[in-house]
């Protein structure tokens, strides 16, 4: 694993020359990772979630309490090498709650180191960034599943967390609708995955006394950020000791609109179908103005994971698929996009936030502003701005600093009080 990470870092630093080349390498890295067989194929192909009975909850499930385990099974999780991850792993189907407050069922993949005493629980939210059910981490991370998205980055994180002696929960936090941007539901799904893990005896956790940290990068920061927002009211019994997230931005609407016609415009057909399923208001507006070609674009995007969508649809112009300008359509869905932004609730758990100053996908200015607002309202934040990394590289270079911070919180060390913001050359050099 170490050599793979070193090779990736060296390659990225060599080719990072100018905006266009950084865009090309970011796309190339995604394609490289997804095109490389990181998992060994099984004799029989794994059924996708839409064809796997495990994902169907049993009769009467909706009356169960949030976090109740509805089904479980042992699984093998892939690693960066040809062998499965050196950990005991299971999948838990559990009851959670959707945006409207109605019962919902989703799955988390839980892993426990095979040796040693477990120190705590980390819920890791992957950057799925897709609407298709076969892109969910519970499917993609299994040994023998086709590598449909940039799972190698996730395998690096999971391996490092396991080596630190923690139990890991990797929830399908987008839920069965595949909605990346949905109000509150991502946080509910993560927290109920934690509840399920705490109640699953083979993991050896201490129930509600278990110290819990949550973390996610890029798209995974969406689910992680919602945890910080909803945990005090939704799951106050969970002992949430830290929230770490990077590569994030708010508000969502302007960010999505900024993707149009750019090198990362392929995120739009990857993300919008799930959002439309989760929000009838959004679906009504898009369906009113999408041309037949636009409908076909959304259907095709809904069948693929993020890497092929981004590779196929670079510099896509949504105006070519709508009967009105994309900017005018966005004016009609402002309420939907306002709902998916993190709310006004000030997080009570300590936060570790980090972004790349020269991120080629996200503008750091809105994140800077959000940090300032949360700090003014009394949040406890350690914020690091990385000057040398870009969006993809920061996911790797920040890992040691992020996990050190998480390890300290799970070990019972108090987070720094108040707020601090630092700009460092690189988090890989020890800057946190």
- The pLDDT, as a whole number, for residue 151 is 75
User: Hey, what CATH topology would domain 49-250+342-429 get?
Assistant: Rossmann fold (3.40.50)
Give me the residues paired with residue 72 across strands. Answer: 92
Residue range(s) occupied by CATH 3.40.50.1820 in the chain: 49-250+342-429
Give me the mean pLDDT over the 196-225 stretch: 96
pLDDT of 135 reads: 94
**What would the mean pLDDT of 72-100 be, rounded to a whole number?**
93
For residue 39, say if its preceding peptide bond is cis, omega within 30 degrees of 0: no
> What integer best gives the mean pLDDT of the chain?
88
- At residue 34, the pLDDT reads 38
pLDDT at 84 over 90: no
The span from the CA of 309 to the CA of 266, in Å, is: 5
d(CA 281, CA 332): 10
DSSP code per residue over 355-398? EETT-SSS-HHHHHHHHHHHHHTT--EEEEEESS--HHHHHHHT
Q: Are 129 and 137 in contact (CB under 8 A)?
A: no
Backbone angles phi, psi at 268, to 5 degrees: -65, -55
**Where exactly does CATH 1.10.260 map onto the chain?**
251-339
Q: Is 18 exposed, middle or buried (0-12, 13-18, 19+ CB in 10 A)?
A: exposed
pLDDT in tens, 153-199: 888 889 989 988 999 999 999 999 999 999 999 999 999 999 999 99
Of 391, 393, 407, 428, which residue is the catalytic one?
391
Q: Where are the beta strands (DSSP E) in 62-148?
A: 69-74, 87-97, 103-113, 121-125
Residue 384 has pLDDT above 50, yes or no: yes
Q: Within 107-251, where are the H helices?
A: 137-140, 151-163, 185-198, 220-234
Return d(Cα 81, Cα 4) in angstroms, integer. 10
Please give the pLDDT value at position 432. 55
Question: Looking at per-residue confidence, does 18 or 384 come out higher?
Answer: 384
**Cα distance between residue 150 and residue 164, in whole Å:** 23
Q: Measuring CA to CA, how many Å separate 262 from each of 267, 273, 288, 324, 327?
A: 10, 19, 24, 19, 15
* 58-71 residue pLDDT tens: 999 999 999 999 99
Residues 426, 350, 117, 396: what is their CA dihedral angle, to the nearest 10 degrees?
-20
Task: Write the pLDDT tens digit of every residue in 332-349.
Answer: 998 888 888 876 778 899
Q: With cut-offs at 50, 70 and 90, classify the pLDDT of residue 102.
A: very high
Q: Based on the residue annotation, tell me whether 391 is a catalytic residue of this protein.
A: yes
Helix (H, G, I), strand (E, B) or coil at 415: coil
Q: Where are the alpha helices (DSSP H) in 200-291?
A: 220-234, 252-259, 267-278, 280-289
- How far apart are alpha carbons 101 and 117 in whole angstroms? 37
Contact 184, 92 (CB under 8 A): no
Which tokens in the block code for residue 138? 């519970």
Catalytic residue among 138, 182, 218, 389: 218
Q: What is the pLDDT of residue 26?
A: 40
Is 166 an active-site residue?
A: no
Averaged pLDDT for residues 423-431: 85
CATH topology for 251-339? 434 Repressor (Amino-terminal Domain) (1.10.260)
- At 45 the pLDDT is 84
Q: Which residues pair with 93 in a beta bridge?
A: 71, 107
Q: Please give the pLDDT value at position 150.
A: 58
The answer to whether 218 is a known catalytic residue is yes
- 115-125 pLDDT, tens per residue? 888 889 999 99
Whole-number pLDDT of residue 342: 76
Tell me how crowded residue 214 is: count the other CB atoms within 10 A of its CB: 33
pLDDT at residue 346 in the model: 82
Tens of pLDDT, residue by residue over 28-60, are: 444 433 333 334 444 578 999 999 999 999 999
Which of 98, 129, 159, 359 is catalytic? The answer is: 359
* Interacting residues of 345 by C-beta distance below 8 A, sequence separation 6+: 229, 230, 232, 233
User: Over the stretch 244-301, which tens digit does the pLDDT of each residue have?
Assistant: 999 988 888 888 999 999 999 999 999 999 999 999 999 999 999 999 999 999 999 9
Of 156, 122, 151, 158, nearest in space to 137 by CA: 151
Instruction: Note the pLDDT of residue 38.
Output: 39
Residue 362 has pLDDT above 60, yes or no: yes
Predicted pLDDT at 169: 98
Q: How many CB atoms lie within 10 A of CB 299?
A: 11
Tokens representing 163 are: 């080596």
Q: Check pLDDT > 50 for residue 20.
A: no
- 78, 151 contact by CB (below 8 A): yes
Confidence class of residue 206 from pLDDT cuts 50, 70 and 90? very high
């Amino acid at each position: 694993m170490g050599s793979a990470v070193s090779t990736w870092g060296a390659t990225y630093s060599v080719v990072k020359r100018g905006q266009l080349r950084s865009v090309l390498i970011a796309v190339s890295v995604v394609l490289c990772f997804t095109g490389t067989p990181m998992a060994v194929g099984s004799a029989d192909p794994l059924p996708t979630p839409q064809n796997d009975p495990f994902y169907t909850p049993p009769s009467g499930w909706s009356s169960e309490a949030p976090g109740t385990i509805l089904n479980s099974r042992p699984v093998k999780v892939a690693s960066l090498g040809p062998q499965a991850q050196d950990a005991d792993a299971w999948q838990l189907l559990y009851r959670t709650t959707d945006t409207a407050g109605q019962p919902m069922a989703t799955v988390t993949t839980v892993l426990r180191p095979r040796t040693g005493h477990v120190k705590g629980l980390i819920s890791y939210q992957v950057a799925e960034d897709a609407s298709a059910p076969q892109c969910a981490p519970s499917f993609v991370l299994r040994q023998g599943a086709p590598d449909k998205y940039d799972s190698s980055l996730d395998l690096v994180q999971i391996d490092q967390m396991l080596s630190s002696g923690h139990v890991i929960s990797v929830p399908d936090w987008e839920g069965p609708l595949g909605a990346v941007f949905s109000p509150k539901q991502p946080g509910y799904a993560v927290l109920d995955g934690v509840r399920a893990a705490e109640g699953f005896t083979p993991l050896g956790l201490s129930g509600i006394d278990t110290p819990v940290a949550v973390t996610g990068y890029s798209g995974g920061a969406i689910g992680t950020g919602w945890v910080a927002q909803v945990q005090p009211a939704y799951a106050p019994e969970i002992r949430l000791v830290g929230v770490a997230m990077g590569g994030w931005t708010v508000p969502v609407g302007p960010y999505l609109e900024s993707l149009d016609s750019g090198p990362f415009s392929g995120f739009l057909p990857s993300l919008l179908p799930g959002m439309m399923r989760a929000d009838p208001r959004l679906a009504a507006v898009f369906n009113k103005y999408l041309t037949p070609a636009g409908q076909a674009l959304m259907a095709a995007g809904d069948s693929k994971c993020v890497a092929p969508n981004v590779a196929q649809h670079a510099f896509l112009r949504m105006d070519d698929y709508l009967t009105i300008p994309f900017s005018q359509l966005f004016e009609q869905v402002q309420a939907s996009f306002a709902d998916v932004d993190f709310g006004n609730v000030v997080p009570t758990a300590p936060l570790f936030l980090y972004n790349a100053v020269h991120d080629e996908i996200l503008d750091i200015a809105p994140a800077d502003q959000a940090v300032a607002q949360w700090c003014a309202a009394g949040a406890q934040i350690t914020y690091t701005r990385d000057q040398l990394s870009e969006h993809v590289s920061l996911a790797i270079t920040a890992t040691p600093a992020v996990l050190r911070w998480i390890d300290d919180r799970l070990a019972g060390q108090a987070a720094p009080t108040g707020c601090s913001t630092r700009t460092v050359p690189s988090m890989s050099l020890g800057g946190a």
